[in-house]
Amino acid sequence: MQRLEYKDEMQGLAIFLVVLAHFLGPHTYGNSYPLVEIISSCHMSFFFFLSGYINQKTNHIKDRGSLHYLKKKAQTLLIPFCFWSYVYSLFLSGKLPTDVEGWLEPLNIFPNMHLWFLPVLFVFFIIYLLISTMRNFCTGGSRMVCYSIPVLTFIAAGLGTHQYHLIIYAIYLSSFFLGDYLSWNERFRTYIMKDVLFGIVAVVLFIAWKIFPLSANGVAWRSMINIILTLICSFGMSIFCYNFFRKVTLPTFFKRCLQEMGKMSLVIYVTPFVLIPSSFHFPETFNETLINVISIIMSSAYVFLRYLWGMFIYQIPIVRFIMYGRK
pLDDT for residue 107: 65
pLDDT for residue 311: 94
112 beta partners: 114
DSSP 191-211: HHT-HHHHHHHHHHHHHHHHH
pLDDT for residue 2: 45
pLDDT for residue 56: 79
114 beta partners: 112
Domain hosting residue 252, numbered range: 2-324
What is d(CA 45, CA 259) in angstroms, rounded to the nearest whole number? 20
pLDDT for residue 1: 42
Q: Residues 165, 173: contact at Cβ < 8 Å?
A: no
**Which residues in the chain come in under a pLDDT of 50?**
1-3
pLDDT for residue 149: 87
Determine the straight-line distance between the first and last CA of the chain, rounded to whole angstroms.
23
pTM score of the predicted model: 0.87
Type of residue numbered 267: V
* 3-state secondary structure (DSSP) of residue 224: helix
Return mean pLDDT, the chain: 83
Q: Residues 5, 259: contact at Cβ < 8 Å?
A: yes
What is d(CA 113, CA 115) in angstroms, rounded to the nearest whole number? 6
Select from 86, 71, 84 the least CA-distant residue to 118: 84
56, 326, 115, 169 alpha-carbon torsion, rounded to 10°: 10
Indicate the angle between helix axes 195-211 and 220-247, nearest 10 degrees.
140
Q: How many domains does the structure of the chain reveal?
A: 1
260 backbone dihedrals φ, ψ, rounded to 5°? -65, -40
